[in-house]
Amino acid sequence: MTSTVYCYRLSPDADYDALVSATDRLFEAGDFDQLFEAGDSVGVKLHFGEGDNDTHLRPSVVRSVVGKVTAAGGRPFVTDSNTLYRGRRSNSIDHLILAHEHGFSIDEVGAPVIIADGLLGNEQVEIPIEGKHYTKVRISAAGHHAKALIVLTHVTGHPSAGMGASIKNIAMGLSSRAGKLSQHSDMVPDVSEEKCIACGTCAEWCPVEAITVDEVAEIDEKKCIGCGECLAVCPNGAVTFSWSETNERLQEKMAEHALGVVVRKTGRIGFINYIYDVTKGCDCFNTRQDPVLKSLAVLASTDCVAVDKAAVDLINEHTHGDFFRKLNPHIAYDVQITHGEAIGLGTTHYDLVEVT
- What is the rounded CA–CA span in Å between residue 43 and residue 140? 12
pTM higher than 0.85: yes
Lowest mean pLDDT among 79-88, 220-229, 268-277, 342-351: 220-229
- What is the rounded CA–CA span in Å between residue 192 and residue 239? 6
Query: Which SS3 state, helix, strand or coil, does residue 278 take?
Result: strand
How much is the pLDDT for 189?
Answer: 82
CB neighbours (10 Å) of residue 1? 11
CB neighbours (10 Å) of residue 11? 9
Name the band, by pLDDT with cuts 50, 70 and 90, for residue 304: very high
Lowest mean pLDDT among 69-78, 151-160, 204-213: 204-213
Cα distances from 163 to residues 155, 156, 336, in angstroms, run 8, 6, 9
CB environment 345-356: b (16+ within 10 A), e (fewer): bbebebeeeebe
- What is the rounded CA–CA span in Å between residue 137 and residue 227? 17
CB neighbours (10 Å) of residue 288? 10
Name the band, by pLDDT with cuts 50, 70 and 90, for residue 168: very high
How much is the pLDDT for 245?
Answer: 54
